[in-house]
Structure 1
């Protein structure tokens, strides 16, 4: 629940509100409310700005998960569940979703060439829960992704089969299929 709320926006909203209350209280000569407004409002405003600057938005779903796919989450591996939860919430202090994972797999030669996770999808593949990660990858060709397929299978843990497909226009889909 908390991951679906932008802490930066929340901090900015509350900070601005308290700061405005402090300014109005100052103009009205209310020293206590003025002090509280400034004492809490300005730091919250600055914290909200800092969080907003370091904010990484959640990755959208390419398609709304079907009720069958949602029910299939019960058979998801802990790795699939962790990835889905991590990329669908606000993150702070990271440059991109799964940036350290891509670096570990050798798919991120530099920050400028790093593939960007642009969408996810959930479905059942032959009755098995499948989490699909869609990357915008203009600098890393499909052949490089395919050469890392075996490494991905061991990286994402036991009971996972990885398939890689070309989605066109520089996009690559990585399907993590529960075995």
Structure 2
């Protein structure tokens, strides 16, 4: 819940309000409100400005998940759940969503060439919960993404298969599909 709204905006609003109260209290000679307004308002205002400068907005859903997909979230691996929660909330102090993940996978040659996560979606593929990540990737071609597919399946942990598709306009879709492994044979779960 804390990540569903911008802490920077809250800091700016509360800090501005308290600072204005402090200025008005100073002008009217009210020492107590003056003290509270300046000593709490100005630091909150500055903190809100700092958070706004370091803010990374949530990634939008390409399409909102259906009730059936939301019910299927119980199938999701901890990694899928963590990725969904991380990219759909406000983050602070990061350059881009999944920046360290892309660097670990060798998909981010430099900050200027790093693919940018632009949308997510959730779906069911053959009854299996699927988290879909859509990247704008003008500097990293589809062939490079596809060459990292096995590494991605290992990186995102057991129980996840990865499907990579080109969407056109330098867009790449990475689908993280929930599956279970039984005696070395991949079997998709039905919902």
TM-score with structure 2 length normalisation?
A: 0.93
Which residue is equivalent to 1:139?
A: 139
- Cα deviation code 1:62-87 (max 9, x no counterpart): 00101111011000000000000000
| Runs of 4+ with deviation above 3 angstroms | none
- Offset, 1:32: 1.0
Which residue is equivalent to 2:58?
A: 58
Aligned length: 179
Which residue is equivalent to 2:154?
A: 154
Distance 1:72 1:108 in 2: 32
Map 1:1-179 → 2, pairs under 5 A: 1-179=1-179
| Alignment gaps of 5+ in structure 1 | none
- Offset, 1:168: 0.5
| Alignment gaps of 5+ in structure 2 | 180-191
Give 3-state SS (helix, strand or coil) of 1:22's partner: helix
Give 3-state SS (helix, strand or coil) of 2:177's partner: strand
Q: What's the C-alpha RMSD, in Å, of the aligned pairs?
A: 0.4
